[in-house]
Amino acid sequence: MLAVNSAPAIGLKCIGFGLAALVWASAAQAQSNAVLLDCGTGQSTASVTIGTDASWSRSNDGGTTWAPAAITFDVNGSWSTAPTGSSWIGNGAGGQPASAQQFLRTLRLGSGVDTSVPLTVSSSFLVDDSLTGLTIGGLSTGISGGSYTGAPTNASGTVSLPSAGDYPLVALVNNSGGGYGVAMSLTITGTCRATPVAAVPADAPWAL
C-alpha cells in the first residue's frame, strides 16, 4: 500500500519540478536574449534597435509563465508587411479566443548610460488587434494604439530607469478574437555619462 501511494506523490513532485524548471528556463531565456544599451568612450548618446522575432517570449496568463514567441503569418492575408527589421510574432490562425497577450524581450542597461536623463523610445509597429501599452521595467513608455492593416504606426515615448541592470521590455497586446500578433521595430536611445575631467596634481609642472 505504501509503495502504491508513494508513486503518485513522486510523480507530483516531478511535475512540480518540471514546472519550476520551465519557469526558470523561460527566465533564463529572457536573460540570455538581453539586448545591451551602453556607451563607449567619447559617445554623447547611444542607441540600440530591437525588432520582434523568434528570440522574444510570449505569455497569455499575465506574465506568470512564458514560452518562446513564434514567427507567424495571418492565414486570412490581411496583415500588412512587418516594419523593416522585424517579423510578425504571435498566432495568425483564425478561431483564437479573445485574450490579452504579452511579448517580452530584456533590455540590459549599461553603466555608461546616464540614468538621470530619460531614455527615448521610437517605435514603428503593426498589431492585431491593438497595443494597449509598451513598458520597460514595468514603466509605461506612453506608446499604444496601432492596427494590422495599412502603414505601420510610428510613435515615440520616454521612460526613466533607476540604474544599470536588466529590465523586461513588454508589448501588451489585446486580441478581441481570431489571429493575434505584433510586428515592431524599436529604437531606444540613452544619454551617456560625461567623462570626468581628471584633476591636475598640485605638484605637476604645468600646474605651477
Record the cell numbers describing residue 203, joined without a space.
605638484
Do 166 and 106 touch, CB atoms closer than 8 A?
A: yes
The mean predicted confidence, pLDDT, of the chain is: 85
CA–CA separation, 131 and 100 (whole Å): 10
Tell me the pLDDT band of 195, cut-offs 50, 70 and 90: confident
Residues 6+ away with beta carbon under 8 Å from 21: none
Torsion region of 77: left, alpha or beta (phi above 0 gives left; psi -120 to 50 gives alpha) = left
Q: What pLDDT sits at residue 135?
A: 98
Evaluate if residue 123 carries a pLDDT over 80.
yes
> What pLDDT is recorded for position 90?
97
Distance, CA of 146 to CA of 156 (rounded, Å): 13
Question: Which pLDDT tens digit goes with each residue over 81-106?
Answer: 999 999 999 999 988 999 999 999 99
Indicate the pTM of the whole model: 0.81
Q: Is the pLDDT of residue 3 over 60?
A: no
CA distance 195 to 193: 6
Question: In this predicted structure, what is the pLDDT of residue 202?
Answer: 58
Q: What pLDDT is recorded for position 76?
A: 84
Does position 24 have pLDDT exceeding 70, yes or no?
A: no
Determine the Cα–Cα distance for residues 99 and 38; give it in Å rounded to an integer. 36
- Count CB-CB contacts under 10 A for residue 9: 9
